[in-house]
Amino acid sequence: MASGTWGGSTPAASQSSRAPTRCSRDEPVSDADTDARVRARAFEFLREQTAIHGDVLPSAVLRQGFVFEGTRVPLTSQQGIFKPAVLPEMPLSIRTKALVEGEVRPYDDALDADGFLRYRYRGTDPEHHENRGLRLAMRRGVPLVYLFGITEGRYLPVWPVYVVRDHPEQLAFSVAVDAPYMRALSEPGLGLVSMEARRAYVTVLTQKRVHQQGFRERVLRAYQQQCAVCRFRHEALLEAAHILPDSDPRGEPIVSNGLALCALHHAAYDRHLLGITPQCTIDIRPDIRRAIDGPTLVHGLQDFQGKSIATPRAPHEKPRPDFLAERYRLYLKAG
């Protein structure tokens, strides 16, 4: 892989270590300088927006983008491989659509044997201009943004990512995710093997994060952004709980194996303080029902004994009774 200017370090560090001082307004600005500053601003924009909205961003925020020297720069459009007009040669972002349960993703972007993500070409022509743009980004070691579709109209942005290999016979690239905060590992002297091992590790962690976020988004949407137990609606404090854990062969990250729960009730469910019957009624463990404590115990747990949980409207998204039965048996054993 080409070791480009960015080399996996933070945008700020890259800028300070490589960019010459601009002495006057009349000094010409190179295409490479413009490219680097646009990418640094894009990463800054994503940090700002994820601090406001959380890890998953609405497509409207990404389409609106940021302003660079008076020009608005979106981060995405209809194309999966996107180069805004302000950039001279190479794309800024790559994107995959959300995976809809029961449907096959049109582009199979999964981990390859090297631990990197496989990103499909645009179309079947290796010389399509979008494919050439990604190939150039690979040769120059330029960082991009990867927008993972989580649910319709919502994306998990990951940056920086690098195109590290080209597979024209398979009409695909290998894409590695790097970790800009691991600055010590990005200093000069890091060998290519060490860099690839780090990026493979970070890429695997990123794919797990994408799957977790996708599960959470789908479950919360099915439950209309409310806790199934208490109907609490503050999304920042809602979580997607597995009925059967992902360690179980049947514990797939699908909505019918999930419950939208607030942080309190998720913890209570995982620690078997609270059970849910196959009939979707709430059972509070007997010793918790008998306990005497403050109002949080009374109103947060004891008052829900025997009540029904909220469930999704769509029949195929409702919790599976056999999954609930299996989990309820574990709850009874723990009590």
- Per residue in 16-61, pLDDT (tens digit) is 333 333 434 444 457 889 999 999 999 999 999 999 998 999 999 9
Distance between CA 310 and CA 321 in Å, rounded?
14
Nearest in space to 148 (alpha carbons), one of 89, 214, 66, 87: 214
Handedness of CA 62, 142, 136, 119 (dihedral sign): negative
DSSP H helices, the chain, are 11-18, 31-53, 59-64, 129-140, 192-222, 263-270, 286-290, 295-300, 321-334
Q: Fill in the amino acid letter for 139.
A: R
Long-range contacts of 9-13 (CB under 8 A, 24+ apart): 9/180, 9/183, 9/186, 9/187, 10/180, 10/181, 10/183, 10/186, 11/39, 11/40, 11/43, 11/44, 11/143, 11/160, 11/180, 12/40, 13/183, 13/186
- Delimit the domains of the chain by residue range: 31-218, 228-334
Regions of the chain with pLDDT less than 70: 1-29, 99-113, 179-193
* CA–CA gap between residue 176 and residue 118 (Å, rounded): 9
Between CA 302 and CA 291 the distance in angstroms is 9
pTM here is 0.69
> Are 60 and 110 a contacting pair, CB within 8 Å?
no
Residue 166: enclosing H or E segment and its boundaries? Answer: strand 154-167
Count Cβ atoms within 10 A of the Cβ of residue 254 and give its class: 0-12 exposed, 13-18 middle, 19 or more buried.
middle
Question: Between β-strands 238-242 and 154-167, what pairing exists: parallel, antiparallel or unpaired?
Answer: unpaired
What pLDDT does 152 receive?
87
The answer to whether the CB of 227 falls within 8 A of the CB of 268 is: no
Residues 99, 97: Cα–Cα separation, whole Å: 6
Dist. CA 97–CA 9, nearest whole Å: 28
To 5 degrees, how large is the angle CA 223–CA 146–CA 134?
A: 150
